[in-house]
Amino acid sequence: MSKIEKPKVQYQNLDKSRLLEQLDEDIQELNQLKQKIKQLEEKKENKEQQLQELEKAATPVPSVLVNATYREYRQYDLAYDRVKQFYKEQHEFQTVAYNIQARINFKTKIRDRMTIWDALLKLNNLLDESDPDTELSQIEHALQTAEAIRKDNKPRWFQLVGLIHDLGKLLYFYDSKGQWDVVGDTFPVGCRFSTKIIHYEFFKANPDYNNPLYNTKYGIYSPHCGLENVMLSWGHDEYMYHLAKEQSRLPPQALAMIRYHSFYPWHQEGAYKYLMNERDEEMLRAVKEFNPYDLYSKTDKKCDIDEVKDYYLELIDEFFPKKVIDF
């Protein structure tokens, strides 16, 4: 019996990591396309319809959209269904109750102990060995993001953010319930969901949507209480933010970049301004500065890990003095 079951579990794991990789790429791609279209036609609300029209159109792609290739639109179509299914789950399950429980789990347990570098390797192995065709491995994305930031002579802490911003995806192999509590755009829970959140319509299945405690403009928060006091949907961003906040010397801007990098409704769509305090304005600028490196640093030129390893080991030590980190 166990002889039959063992490989089955392995295959399940392979599928699981492959799915997360694929989905994560799709979500990134969607965010890239959304930004491109937004830059080109700021005021047009219905981006999805715009894409469909483009698809159908026999006329040449308008020159304003020249940066977005036809191939990208095809990929958007394919990615779209997977992403839609993902957000259907995420928006239903990310409740206040779930988020409180996720934070209790986080605080009451140490899942692993290792250095930041070993964690990067671990994430890389877990997610990528299952799928050799993945466009860009986790460590490549981490290094390319960091290297692009370094090339622009940004501060050392900023470079480190590039390296570790997605490290929280390790959560997927610890105690996540699915993909919906690891990746995807993030948003506040405990107050009314903004219509600017991608696939807002799926929130109707979330129990909090009809809960009078949580469905008013401010819900459990107060005007301009500061995002620091707002509970954002649990995922790799929140997880890594809490780790870094407690165990690193990274400055507040760096922590904001980690925490809010998937908070697209806020940093790209301008939602939830009424929860921001003065300090958040500065954080918003930091997150906006980081975002292009996350979305557009992808290149075909692979980083030579051995060549840059010493540089990043030193950088990690500078901001994570404890060396061995509780994950």
Binding residues for Fe cation: 141, 165-166, 236, 261, 294
CB of residue 165 vs Fe ion: minimum separation in angstroms? 6
CB of residue 141 vs Fe ion: minimum separation in angstroms? 6
Secondary structure (DSSP) of 84-95: HHHHHHHHHH--
Q: Of the two residues 65 and 126, which places its CB atom closer to Fe ion in the complex?
A: 126
CB of residue 27 vs Fe ion: minimum separation in angstroms? 9
CB of residue 137 vs Fe ion: minimum separation in angstroms? 12
Alpha-helical regions (H) of the chain: 2-40, 47-56, 70-93, 96-107, 116-128, 138-151, 156-164, 236-247, 252-260, 264-267, 278-296, 305-319
CB of residue 246 vs Fe ion: minimum separation in angstroms? 20
Q: Of the two residues 174 and 218, which places its CB atom closer to Fe ion in the complex?
A: 174
- Please enumerate in sequence order all residues whose Cβ is within 8 A of that of 315, keeping only pairs 6 or more positions apart, or say none: 156, 159, 160, 163
Residue 113, beta-bridge partner list: 326
Q: Of the two residues 23 and 96, which places its CB atom closer to Fe ion in the complex?
A: 23
Q: Of the two residues 123 and 189, which places its CB atom closer to Fe ion in the complex?
A: 123
Query: Which amino acids are annotated as binding site, given as ranges?
Result: 74, 128-130, 141, 165-166, 169, 184-185, 236, 261-262, 294
Q: Of the two residues 128 and 294, which places its CB atom closer to Fe ion in the complex?
A: 294
> Running DSSP on this structure, what letter comes out for residue 194?
P
Query: Which amino acids are annotated as binding site for substrate, given as ranges?
Result: 74, 128-130, 169, 184-185, 261-262
Binding site for Fe ion (CB under 5 A): 166, 294
Task: Tally Cβ neighbours within 10 Å of residue 55.
Answer: 12
Q: Which of 107, 236, 230, 264 is nearest to 180 (CA)?
A: 236
Query: How many whole angstroms separate alpha carbon 221 and alpha carbon 223?
Result: 7
